[in-house]
Structure 1
């Protein structure tokens, strides 16, 4: 991952904060405060934006730091975004996923800042995703005891924890509850609305969890190969075995030995499909598939929604992921 430092621009930031007009969520720039009395919420990337929109409803004005189509791991923050971030009422982000965001949030000093990594337990997942500590029933909190990701050479999240928690609907529901509580605290006058919306969203996520459990209960194989190891929590939740070509960072290049290992694993486990995603290069996945005589398909880590996504929102894309997994794993 390229960790890019932010340039201190206090004078410029002050001028921009005064001059910049309020911006909408689709601009990819945080709002400079909601002029119509709504809560101004800035989200770091799509999974946080979706929670804010679902729970906040028409009581909030939501903006995302990550534009559609941008790979979130690579996001650079502009001085303009940093200045306007400081005028948000609430900031939602996931510490450890986007270093530039972590630094900007620290600089902004917003009172109501929510780190999603503190709302559920993070585990360590490497390319093989075999760490199963704390998979179920854990109390929400930091995963400071979690080990480092094996084999990918990058540290993610708190103490090396894998940050891709939203791909497990049950963990995403835990985060939703924390986000709902934060919005209630920031805007107590509309607490009942936030609570109602949170309960509805958690209900939908619980139903989605059941769909995945039932849909992946009986399959011909339990192993799937994907471009980057973003699906450790999903695999853990539903008893699958994720094999990532690269680690949890999509930029890390697999070694020739890793590619050979995956070819052997695919043969041994009767793997049919190599998955690639919409925001990262599919070159390595297609190369592995061609060398191994396998098919390719999409498994979307839902780090952003574009016109190439197999669905218009979190639930639609997750159901597309389920359908593609069922097909690849030979669900019965």
Structure 2
């Protein structure tokens, strides 16, 4: 005896009706009209960013060289295999990590202090905020030339000032000393990138609800307690974002260090970007230089993934 199948249940009052694929795309804003409106933004990104990136990645697997009349050939992982044993490149990579981590950390600490100060209701606050943006308005090449004059061993204002204060007896070669060149360049990097970090953190501080800080003050919380319990949790997403971006920007620095030292003395400030530049345009090894860029992308991606995962777990916990 066959039993009739029960009729399908009617959708409940709170159960949404099933959507078709077209309806789901329309809800997500992925219909044809939206894609058409996105084309003016997508085309420049594809042509100016994604296209050159993919071309550079493809070069890493070829033997492309400058001035060759023979066609470029596919060599697979040969460039990456050679890169594994290139001690000079990995030394420059170590210097690049020291530079990027040092500049990023110092920028954050100083910018946070400056942003907290500029967030106070002080007289001439507008003027101080304007002055804080001055280094940001200067091109990196101009910044490098200016600081080369400041650090000049014989005519630099830094040695002149320290000498008049009787802090040094002989002029110091800030950019020619093996032990001082990298710290001197790091100081310039911090100075040049401080304004953008300060502006971002200041914007985050101004979005912290005043009522929360006032309530914490009424509960007897001091300045440090109010910062750790109210201000820091509110600006933590901003801190994560600007720290990650600063690390990428600093690790990929080129023009500032190139103008200051060109990687010297003795390779002590040769960042990986400078090393790749020399390999490509001084020695004509385009394929090998592209492999260096691919290695830098991979390692930085791993570092950033670990950093962001840890930060996001801390935020969620």
Q: Which of the five TM-score ranges fits, normalised by the shorter chain?
A: under 0.3
Normalising by the residue count of structure 1, what TM-score does the alignment of the two structures yield? 0.21
Higher share of residues assigned helix: 2
Normalising by the residue count of structure 2, what TM-score does the alignment of the two structures yield? 0.22
- Quick check: which has more Rg, 1 or 2? 2
Higher share of residues assigned strand: 1
